[in-house]
Amino acid sequence: MLQPPHSSLQVAAVPAQRVPVRDRDQDAPWHTEAVCRRDEAGLFFAPSKEPTAARLSREEAAKRVCARCPVMVECREHALLQPEPYGVWGGLTAAERRVVLARRRRREVELKKAARATANRIAG
Ligand code: SF4
């Protein structure tokens, strides 16, 4: 991960299990197109003991980078499927990804219920 020399926020040391897959998974087809590989990567993970206002500002800045990234959809889906527990991925914070995942789980449950009800109706 490249660190932008002009970043006012320094990223805390990221433990091995928190190293983003965009850095581990060099073979991912979308990886080479990731805008954050070229410069603003310091925006994507929280430094230790980051104040709330600074976190919100940093996350919004990261989201602006994501908004112009050509692989935002692929990155977001990757982060949801892993799932990636930390950082901004695909324009979503970790908290926002948890909300998306919870909605997906609820929708899957509802679809399964509907499928069972349909199967029961057909079976008579
Ligand atoms: S969507 Fe954001 S986090 Fe994902 S590769 Fe692009 S810039 Fe990086």
Q: How far apart are CA 33 and CA 37, in angstroms?
A: 8
pLDDT above 70 coverage of the chain, percent: 76
Token pair 């976190």 is found at: 55
Note the pTM of the prediction, 2 decimals.
0.75
User: Pocket of ligand 1, candidates 24, 66, 84: which has the most ligand atoms within 8 Å of its Cβ, to mutate?
Assistant: 66
pLDDT tens sequence across 65-109 = 999 999 999 999 999 999 999 999 999 999 999 999 999 999 999
Read off the pLDDT of each residue in 2-20 and give the average, rounded to a whole number.
Answer: 35
Q: Other CB atoms closer than 10 Å to residue 3's CB: what's the count?
A: 12
Average pLDDT, the chain: 82
Query: Which of ligand 1's atoms lies nearest the C-alpha of 88?
Result: 3
In terms of pLDDT, which residue wins out, 17 or 7? 17
3-state secondary structure of 89: strand
20 cis-preceded (ω within 30 degrees of 0):
no
pLDDT beyond 80 at 8? no
Burial zone of 55 (CB within 10 Å; 0-12 exposed, 13-18 middle, 19+ buried)? middle
Residue nearest to atom 8 of ligand 1 (CA): 36
Q: Which residues line ligand 1 (CB under 6 A)?
A: 22, 34-36, 44, 65-66, 69, 71-72, 75, 88-91
The residues spanned by each domain of the chain are 30-94
Read off the pLDDT of each residue in 38-46 and give the average, rounded to a whole number.
Answer: 79
User: Pocket of ligand 1, candidates 11, 31, 37, 72: which has the most ligand atoms within 8 Å of its Cβ, to mutate?
Assistant: 72
pLDDT beyond 70 at 30? yes
Per-residue pLDDT, 42: 82
Residue nearest to atom 3 of ligand 1 (CA): 89
Band (pLDDT 50/70/90 cuts) for residue 18 is: very low
Band (pLDDT 50/70/90 cuts) for residue 26 is: low
CA of 123 to the centre of ligand 1 (A): 48
